[in-house]
Chains A and B, each alone.
Chain A
Amino acid sequence: MRRALTEPPLVRGALLAVALVFLAIFLVMPLVAVFAQALEKGFGAYLTALREPDAWAAIRLTLLTAAIAVPMNLAFGLAASWAIAKFEFPGKGTLLTLIDLPFAVSPVISGMIFVLLFGRQGLLGPFLGAHDVKVIFAVPGIVLATVFVTFPFVARELVPVMQALGNEEEEAARVLGAGGWQIFFRVTLPNVKWGVLYGVILCNARAMGEFGAVSVVSGHIRGLTNTIPLHVEILYNEYNFQAAFAVASLLAFLALVTLLAKSVVEWRSGRAARPEAPVREAA
C-alpha cells in the first residue's frame, strides 16, 4: 500500500539528483561566483574596492533611497490595508487591482514614465526647467522610480492578513472607549506585526537592488546619481571586474540576509505552517 504511494527508490534518487543539480547550477553557482570573484585578488583588494569614494557615495545614495521609499510605502500599506480590510465600499476589487499595477509594469517602463513626466522633453519638463528643479538624472527621480517599483509590497502583504483577522478586537476596543490611533497602535499593529515586517523586508530588498527603473532615470553620474547596482554596472563595463564583484557582494550579502530574515518571519508567524501530509512521514 505504502509502496504504491511513493516512487521507487531509483526514481526518488533520480528526481532528487535532478533537482539538486538544477538548483546548484542556477542558484548556488552564481552566488559562489560573486564572492569568489570579489575575493579573487585577496581580502585587501576587496576592502580597497569598497573603500573607494564613488562606492561610498553609491552606498549612501542606496541607503537614502531605501530610507525614503520604504517608510512611504509602509505608511501607504498600513493606510490601504486599514481601509480595505476594515470597511466595505464599492470598487474595492478595482482598487486592489490598481495597487498591484506596478508589478505588471516592467522595470524599464517604470523608469520611463517618470522621464516622460519630468524629463527635459517631458510633460512637466519646461515648468521644472523654468524653476530650476531637477528630477530626472538627479536624486528625486531615483527615489520616485524606487517608490513606484516597491509600491505594492507592504500593502499586498497586509491586506490579506488584516482581512483574516477581522474587526472584532478593534470593535471591542472601540466600545471600551479607545480612540482610532489607540486602537491602531495597541490592537491592530501588534496583531499584524509579522505581516508588516515581512512586507518591509521584501520592499527594502527591492528598493536597494532595483536596477532597470533606476538606470533609466539616473543618468549614471559617478558619485552623484549612482546607486549600488548602477555602480556595479559602471565598474563591470570598465572591465574592473574585481571591484564590480566586490561591490556586488554587498548586494548578494543583502539578498542572503533578506532570505534569512524572510525564513525567520515565516517561521515565527507560522505563515509557512504547511499541513503535514501522512505521505511525507513515510519519506
Chain B
Amino acid sequence: MSSASPRRRVLPGFGLTLGFTLLYLSLIVLVPLSTLALRTASMGWGPFWATVTSPRVLASYRLTFGASLAAAALNGVFGLVVAWVLARHRFPGQKVMDALVDLPFALPTAVAGIALTSLYSPNGWFGRPLEAMGLKVAFTPLGIVVALTFIGLPFVVRTLQPVIEDLDVEVEEAAASLGAGRRQTFAHVILPALFPAWLTGFALAFARALGEYGSVVFIAGNMPMRTEITSLLIITKLEQYDYAGATAIAVVMLVASFLLLGAINRLQSWASRRGAAA
C-alpha cells in the first residue's frame, strides 16, 4: 500500500493502543523474562558450566531430546498419513476426526498425562497386553515418547493438511498423462511439494515436545538419570531453592528452543516461497 503516513493517521488511537501494547508487553513478558538473564549474569561462567554439564543434567538432555525426536518422527510418519486421508479422502465421521485432531491443543496436559498413564500402566487397557508381550511402556522412556507423540500430533497434521489441499491437481494430471504411475507421481511430484511443510511440522512437534511437562511427569516414573526430563529437573532445583541451578538449565533449554524456532521461521518462509512458486 502506498498511502503516506499522514493519511494512515486519519484513524485515532495510535498512541493509546501502541502505548498500552508496549506497557503490557513489558510488564507481563519482557520484565519477567529478563530475570533469567539477570540471574545468569550474576552466576559466573564456571558454576554455570558446571551445572549445565553435570551428569544428571546431561542424562536429562539426552532423554528429553531423544524422546522428543522419536515422538516427532512418529508424528512425521503417521501425521502425514492422517493429513493425507483428511485432505483427500471422504469417509463417514470425517468432520469429527478432523476436529478431534486438535484435542491435544485443547485437553489440559495433566489430564492427558493421567489418561495415558492409566492406559499404559501394567494393568491398563494397553499396558497389560503389551506387558504380556514383554514391552513395558509406562514409567520407561517409551512412555515419555507416547506422551510426546500425543502432544505433537496436531502440528504435523495441521501444517500438512492445507498444503495437501492446495496441491495443484493439474501437476499430478500432467505427471499421469506423461505416463507416471501413482507411485511415481507420489515420490517425484507430491512428496517434494510437501517436504518443506512436512519438515516445518516435524520441527514444531519437536520444539513443543522439548518443553513439555504436564503430560510427561505422570507416565515417566521420574527416576534420576533414567526417566527424568529436563523440565522436571528445573522444578526439582526450584523446590530445593537452588534458583541459580534452575536458571542455568532453563537458559540452556530456552536457547535451544529459540534456535529451533528461528530455524522453523526460515523453514516457513521457504515453504511459502515454494508454495508461491508452484
Task: Choose from B39, B218, B258 the contact partner of A104 (Cβ within 8 Å).
Answer: B258
Which of chain B's residues have a CB closer than 8 A to the CB of A6? 88, 182
Which of chain A's residues have a CB closer than 8 A to the CB of B11? 86-87, 167, 170-171, 174, 180, 183
Q: Mark A167-211, 1 if CB is under 8 A from B, else 0.
A: 100110011000110011000000000000000001001001111
The answer to whether B213 and A107 have CB atoms under 8 Å apart is yes
Give the CA-CA distance A159 to B83 in the complex, in Å: 27
Give the CA-CA distance A18 to B85 in the complex, in Å: 10
Which of chain A's residues have a CB closer than 8 A to the CB of B97? 20, 23
Give the CA-CA distance A82 to B15 in the complex, in Å: 11
Question: Most A CB atoms within 10 A — which of B82, B90, B180?
Answer: B82
Interface size class of A (residues with CB under 8 A): 35 or more
Give the CA-CA distance A106 to B216 in the complex, in Å: 13
Which of chain A's residues have a CB closer than 8 A to the CB of B84? 15, 19
The answer to whether B33 and A251 have CB atoms under 8 Å apart is no
Which of chain B's residues have a CB closer than 8 A to the CB of A277? 165, 167, 169
Q: Mark A15-53, 1 if CB is under 8 A from B, else 0.
A: 110111011011111110110010000000000000000
Give the CA-CA distance A274 to B161 in the complex, in Å: 10
Task: Choose from A114, A167, A233, A262 the contact partner of B110 (Cβ within 8 Å).
Answer: A233
The answer to whether A30 and B116 have CB atoms under 8 Å apart is yes
Of the stretches B44-52, B53-61, B170-178, B267-275, the one at the interface is B170-178
| Chain A residue with Cβ nearest B7 | A171
The answer to whether B30 and A98 have CB atoms under 8 Å apart is yes
The answer to whether B118 and A241 have CB atoms under 8 Å apart is yes
Q: Does A70 contact B (CB under 8 A)?
A: no
Task: Choose from A33, A171, A279 the contact partner of B115 (Cβ within 8 Å).
Answer: A33
Which of chain A's residues have a CB closer than 8 A to the CB of B172? 4-5, 279
Give the CA-CA distance A251 to B113 in the complex, in Å: 13
The answer to whether A101 and B33 have CB atoms under 8 Å apart is yes
Task: Choose from B30, B114, B173 the contact partner of A5 (Cβ within 8 Å).
Answer: B173
The answer to whether A4 and B182 have CB atoms under 8 Å apart is yes
The answer to whether A229 and B108 have CB atoms under 8 Å apart is yes
Task: Choose from A16, A76, A151 the contact partner of B89 (Cβ within 8 Å).
Answer: A16
Hey, which bits of chain A sit against chain B, CB under 8 A?
1, 4-8, 11-12, 15-16, 18-20, 22-23, 25-31, 33-34, 37, 75-76, 79-80, 82-84, 86-89, 95, 98-99, 101-102, 104-109, 112-117, 119-123, 144, 147-148, 151, 167, 170-171, 174-175, 179-180, 183-184, 202, 205, 208-212, 215-216, 228-230, 232-233, 236, 241, 244-245, 248, 251-252, 254-256, 258-260, 262-263, 274-275, 277-280, 283
